[in-house]
Structures are given as C-alpha cells and as structure tokens.
Amino acid sequence: MFKIFAIFLGLLALIPLPQILAQSPADAPVEREFKALLAKDNAAMIEVHQWFYDNLASLKKSPEKRTVLDQLIEQRLIPVRAAYEDFLAKNPSHTPARNAYASFLGHTRNQQGAISQWEIALELDPKSAVAWNNLGVHFGNLAIQLKQAEPAQRAIASYAKAVEVAPREPLYLHNFATAIALFRDAAAAHFKIDYPQVLERSLEFYRKALALDPKRFQLASELAETYHDIHPIRLEEARYAWARALEIARDDSDREWVIFQLALLEANAGDLVTARQQFAKASGKHYAELHRRLAKALGIAVANTPATNAAPCELKIELRRTDDKAEIVTTTNRLVLDIAVRSGIGAATVKKISGAWPATVLLRINRPVLESFGVSTGPISISGAAYAEQQAGRWHLAKGNKEEGELLPTENPLHLRVRKHGKDGIEIELPKALFTDKTDALTLKWIDRYR
C-alpha cells in the first residue's frame, strides 16, 4: 500500500507525555529543550493527520494526489527527525528522548529504527521499564499482525523484563498477563513449563496486577475470562473471579456482561438450571446479540429476548469509501453501527433524521486494532487508538476548534469502552455523555494497522 498510509498517531501510544516529563526537573535547560521537542513532534503528527483526512476522499482515486501528499508528509517530518537527532547528538544519554524518538519512528513505521532506539535506551538504562514495556507492545503487535513466533517470543521476553524492573506497576503486569494468554507457545518456552501450565502463569500476573489496582473492572474481567479456556473447568475458582468482577462493575453494562459470563460458565459446567437462573437476571439491554445466542443455547424462547424492531430514531450513514458496507440495527435502548471495511482506512458520517439517540450506541468494525480512531459531534472530538485483544483504548478529548486535548482518564464519562467482537473485530461503546439533544450527527474516522 501507499507510504502515506503508514504515518499516523496512535498505534502504540508508547510514551505517555506526562510520564516522560515527570522523569526530570522541568526547569533544567535540557528538559525545557526536550519538552519543546515533544511539542514539535506532537504538532507535526497532528498536522499530518489532518492533511490525510482533509484529502481522504480523493486519495484512492488520484495517484498524483497521493504522490504530492507523500512528499508533503515526508517534508513535514524531516525537521522533527532532525530535531531528535540533533538533541540526541548533544544528549546521547537522555533515555526519555531515546524512548520518545523510538515512538516517533514507530509511528512512521520505521520498525527497525524504533527497535534500535529502544535498544540504545536499554543499554543506557537496563532498568528502563518504559522501554521494556514499549518493546513488548511493539513486538506483540508484530506477532499478531505477522502471525510469527519470533516477535511473540520477543514480546514475552520484553514484558518479563518490564515486570522484573517494575514489579509494582499494574500496567506492565496486565500487559504481561495478556501476552502470556495470547502467545502461549512463546510463554511456555520462556518459562520452560508445560503448555497446560501457561494459563496458570497468566492468572498469576493478572492477580498481581489486580492486587495493585483492585478497582479496575477490566483487570478483574480479563482474569475471570481466562478460566473459560482452562480445562477441566475449575468452577468454584471461576465463580469467585466473576463474583469479584461483579463487585467492582462500573455500571449496568459491566454487570450485564458478568451475568452473561456466569450463565455461560454454568452452562459449560453442565448445570443448565443455574445457567438459566443467571441468564434471567439480565435483560439484554446492553448485549442483545449475546442475550439472543445464550437464550438459544439454553433453550429459552427467543421471544423472551429484547425486541429488535423498535427504532428510537431514524438514521442515515454515509461512508467515504464505496466498497465499505454498513448496517444499522436499532432497538428502543440500543443502536449498533456495524461497519465492514475492505481497506483499513475509512470514515463515515452518521446523521440523525428524527427521534432520540438510544441509551447505548455501539460501533463495530471488522478490524482488531485501530491505530487511529476518532469520533466527533462538532463541539466535542475524541481521538486515540483501540485494541480489541487488550480491550483497551487510549483517548484524548478536544473541544471547539482544537485538534487534540488532554488524555482522558478511564473514569471520565467521555472515555470510550473497547471490547473484542467476533473473531477479528472490535466493538467501541460510544459514551452517553457524547450525546445531547443538539447532537444531530457523528463523524467517524479510522485507520487500522494492516497496510
């Protein structure tokens, strides 16, 4: 594909800006120069991102425009690269700058260059947990993309080092637990354990992460979900894990998810009576499709599931690419925008013709990773990256004419929730706080990593 498609924000979100700036005194001349360098990097990436979307409709049709934009992007990023190289020539032992430059190179798809910078950072500071974790993220994404063993092995080894040097950082423990469950062959080789023991090791690191961050529902849920893959089933342990997740559920959507997982657990254990009792505790308001499938599996009449023919509002969706497809499914309280994309780059506008937005709005795209995703209502714009396997996103909020604002904490009501959907898809729950009586349209933009 075209080089232009490779240069955008978000794939790894590797170096959180506040974390970098917290590592050195803000009043030191070198650190002031470093802060200016980070601002220069950020400004360039935002501008490149905007160029791309301003020309998205015509890029596929015009080779000439692609060539011109490629050249513009390359020229725009040359001074940023030069600024990094100049700073590092003067400050070769500045580990945060090495990490930031690696992130810049990773965003521009210079994979080997990014790896080299992280490796230099680790030569300077072998205990840089940031660098080890970022290498793990980088190789983990490569392993998923390329379906190869070698990057999976390097991902496991890198996460292991991050956890070794920062054993009380929940993020690194969480990432390691997820990678172990995902790359089981590599994990078995790394720990020198039998394959059936791998999930035990994953549970171990999930538990450590949850002990340090006991209110994080995502951690508790992923820990409990790991029991679905353990055979023979360990029913009491799994029940306890889901009960703990239920205790810290953030809202009705989380609670419904846990109830359905408990119903599935009991059904897999052969106790259909208890499974049906669990199933009856949830209405299916937030997970209508899972509600329908479980009802069928448990022998419950489909008519007992929520109605799917009552449309609270009339909508129209316009796709930028003619080969993309979209389906809108609405109920009284739920809207699903199901978009099937042929290429990894696209955009859509969803216009409300009449009625009111339902309580739950879900976007589904048949891609497991969106290295850049944005949703805008006009007054409010949210942008970032989303990962189906990790069930995580990293979001920034901008208001008015600003391109990008502050990083959104997970507890913010505008934070987007991310889940895996199907085998290779992603589901993003758009927050209720995004919608008001004056919200007449949504603009959606996305870029995946497969190019």
Each residue of 298-346: pLDDT tens digit? 998 755 444 444 445 788 888 877 767 888 877 667 788 888 886 667 7
- Evaluate whether 160 touches 177 at the Cβ level (below 8 Å): no
pLDDT in tens, 106-144: 877 788 899 999 999 999 999 999 899 989 988 888 888
Q: Is residue 199 part of a domain?
A: no
Q: Do 298 and 325 fall into the same domain?
A: no
What is residue 405's predicted lDDT score, i.e. its pLDDT? 58
Q: Is 264 helix (H, G, I), strand (E, B) or coil?
A: helix
Predicted confidence band of residue 183 (pLDDT cuts 50, 70, 90): very high
What is residue 7's predicted lDDT score, i.e. its pLDDT? 32
Q: End-to-end CA distance of the chain: give it in Å, rounded.
A: 6
Q: Do 166 and 258 fall into the same domain?
A: no
Q: Do 136 and 281 fall into the same domain?
A: no
| Top-confidence residue, 159 or 46 | 159
What is residue 11's predicted lDDT score, i.e. its pLDDT? 32
Q: Do 183 and 241 fall into the same domain?
A: no
User: d(Cα 367, Cα 424) in Å, to the nearest integer?
Assistant: 6
Q: Do 51 and 180 fall into the same domain?
A: yes
| Top-confidence residue, 228 or 57 | 228
Going by C-alpha positions, the residue among 15, 16, 222 that lies closest to residue 105 is 15
Q: Is residue 198 part of a domain?
A: no
- Evaluate whether 128 touches 122 at the Cβ level (below 8 Å): yes
Identify the weakest region by mean pLDDT among 15-24, 96-105, 306-315, 357-366. Answer: 15-24
What is residue 6's predicted lDDT score, i.e. its pLDDT? 33
Average pLDDT, the chain: 82
Q: Among 304, 323, 344, which residue terminates a domain?
A: 304
Q: Do 288 and 364 fall into the same domain?
A: no
Q: Do 339 and 243 fall into the same domain?
A: no
Q: Is residue 209 part of a domain?
A: no
Q: Is residue 52 part of a domain?
A: yes
Q: Do 86 and 142 fall into the same domain?
A: yes
What residue type is 365 in one-letter code? I
Identify the weakest region by mean pLDDT among 3-12, 139-148, 224-233. Answer: 3-12
Q: Do 163 and 84 fall into the same domain?
A: yes
DSSP state letter for 376:
E
Q: Is 280 helix (H, G, I), strand (E, B) or coil?
A: coil
Range of the domain at 267: 214-304
What is residue 23's predicted lDDT score, i.e. its pLDDT? 44
Q: CB count, 10 Å around CB of 112?
A: 8
Predicted confidence band of residue 4 (pLDDT cuts 50, 70, 90): very low
| Top-confidence residue, 7 or 252 | 252
Q: Among 256, 272, 304, which residue terminates a domain?
A: 304
Q: Do 274 and 356 fall into the same domain?
A: no
Rg, Å, the chain Cα set: 23
Q: Among 153, 176, 191, which residue terminates a domain?
A: 191
The count of domains in the chain is 3
Q: Do 402 and 323 fall into the same domain?
A: yes
Residues in the chain: 451
Q: Do 444 and 297 fall into the same domain?
A: no
Cα–Cα distances (Å) from 85 to 18, 43, 114, 159, in that order, read 22, 18, 13, 28
Q: Is residue 197 part of a domain?
A: no
pLDDT in tens, 66-107: 788 888 888 989 999 999 999 999 999 999 999 899 988 887
What is residue 168's predicted lDDT score, i.e. its pLDDT? 95
